[in-house]
Amino acid sequence: MTFLSPWIAKRDAADANRVPQDSRVYAIGDIHGCVDRLDRLHDAIWEDASAHVCGRRVVVYLGDYIDRGPSSRQVIDRLIGEPLPGFEVVYLMGNHERFLMDFLENPDIGQAWLHNGGEATLESYRVDLWGRDGRAHDMNWIRERLRAIMPPAHHAFFEALRLFHVEGDYFFTHAGIRPGVELERQNEADLLWIRNPFLRSKADHGKIVVHGHTPSAEPEVRANRIAIDTGACYGGRLTALVLADAGYGFLHT
């Protein structure tokens, strides 16, 4: 089931936040291996876009495609399979993709990754944590096995992920930004991991920051940010923010 929340528009306000003219922009929050909900949300986006005439359609994925949920590998298959033909597509990196990429270079972080949901990703790629003798494989073996099994297209997908994206008056990133630091000077750790210094800030960041990373039951709209991680992997909904002209709404599954 999908639905669009009430549409909020400020078309007459001179200071309203806007996306580029004749554009309809969708941003999808943290998927975390929930491929069925992703499929339904793609259907909802396609239906919504088909009902509105515009010259440009964009979908921005905010990262955390993997871990925790049951179908990380299948999510990546969907994303590289162009599920929304005719859309411009932007794939951002989440801290969980950073975990995976770091593990492929350094197996010493393996336990930290598993503690943060990486076991579900390994299971989706059919990488066994335990040998037939009942003993746990060491992290170097698991790393090498994952390297061997992961399709080259998946590895290329992870390598190509971006840290942020800008559309008009909106700045898209996974976790947030460091308040007081210019947007173009933000560092990777903050863009992927920051919470309280950003979430508590009431500062004007220059653009509205659209982010995920910190789950909540409903999207959070503040004067300086919009949060759309609604906890899909914890039984919540998967959410897409919809931006057009000077208005916004939400699609949920």
Q: Which residue range(s) make up the domain with 204?
A: 3-252
Arithmetic mean of pLDDT, 67-71? 97
Q: What is residue 184's DSSP assignment?
A: G
* Residue 34 pLDDT greater than 70, yes or no: yes
CA distance to 34, 94, 157, 215, 250, per residue, from 211 (Å): 18, 10, 20, 10, 14
Flag whether pLDDT at 180 surpasses 90. yes
pLDDT tier for residue 15 given thresholds of 50, 70 and 90: low
Stretch among 66-75, 127-136, 196-205 having the lowest mean pLDDT: 127-136
CATH at 104: 3.60.21.10
Query: Quick one: 74 exposed, middle or buried, by C-beta within 10 A (0-12, 13-18, 19+)?
Result: middle
Looking at every residue in the chain, the average pLDDT score rounds to 93
pLDDT at 245: 85
**How high is the pLDDT of residue 137?**
81
Between 94 and 137, whose confidence is greater?
Answer: 94
Q: Which 8-state DSSP code applies to residue 207? A: S
Q: Per the structure, how many domains does the chain have?
A: 1
Residue 179 pLDDT: 98
